[in-house]
Structure 1
Amino acid sequence: MTLVRGDIGGYEFNRMVVLFSMMDGARVIPCAISATAMDDLEHVSRTAADQRERQFVRLRDRIEQCASRKFLAGEFEGNPPGIILRGIDFRA
C-alpha cells in the first residue's frame, strides 16, 4: 500500500528534527527529518528554529517521497518503529 500524507508534529529543538506522520491505511507511521537534511535540500547553511515548519512545508513533497521509499524498503528505526530521514537519504 502507498503511504499518504499525515500530520506535521512540529519542530523538536532538542533533537533538531521536524516530526511528521504518514498513513498506511488507518495505521500512523511516525516520521522525522533532520534539520540538516532540510538545509541540505535547500542549499542553505542554517535555518532559524522558528522557520523549520515552513521549511518542511516547502519541501514536503520531496520529504514524503523519500519517507515512502524507506517505508517500502522496510527501513524502520526506533521504538515505536518509524522512519527517520537524514541528508544521506536524499543523495543520488
Structure 2
Amino acid sequence: MALTEGQFQDYDFNRRVVLFTMKNDEAVVACAISTDAMDLIEGTSRTTPEQRQQQFFRLRDRIEARAARKFSDVELEGNPPGVILRTIDFRPEL
C-alpha cells in the first residue's frame, strides 16, 4: 500500500532534520528529512530554525512523494524502520 499524508512532528536542531510521519494504512511510519535536502529543494541556504516548519509545509508535496517512493522501494533505515531523506534523494538523475 502507498503511504499517505501524516503529520509534522518537530524540527530537531541538533540533528538538523525535520521529523514527520506518514501512514501506511493505519500504521504510522516515522520519517525525517535533512535541512540540507529541504534547502536544496527550495534553492536556499539561509533558512532559520524558526522557519523550518513553514518550509516543510511549502515543500510537503515533494517531500512526501519522495518518502512514499523510498518506502515502496523498501529503502528503510533505523529501528523501527522508517524513511530518511537526504540531499541525494532530490538530486536530478543523470
Task: Normalising by structure 2, report the TM-score.
Answer: 0.95
Indicate the RMSD between aligned Cα atoms, in angstroms: 0.6
C-alpha separation in 2, matches of 1:14 and 1:3: 27
Amino acid in structure 2 at the alignment position of 1:3:
L
Length, aligned pairs only: 92
Q: Name the residue aligned to 2:2.
A: 2
Q: Deviations over 1:16-70 (max 9, x none)?
A: 1000001000110000000000001111112000100000000000000000000
Say yes or no: does 1:15 pair with 2:51: no
C-alpha separation in 1, matches of 2:90 and 2:40: 9
Gapped runs of 5+ residues in structure 1?
Answer: none
Sequence identity percentage: 58
Gapped runs of 5+ residues in structure 2?
Answer: none
Amino acid in structure 2 at the alignment position of 1:72:
S
Q: Name the residue aligned to 1:55.
A: 55
C-alpha separation in 2, matches of 1:65 and 1:46: 24
Runs of 4+ aligned residues of structure 1 deviating over 4 Å after TM superposition are none
Task: Normalising by structure 1, report the TM-score.
Answer: 0.97
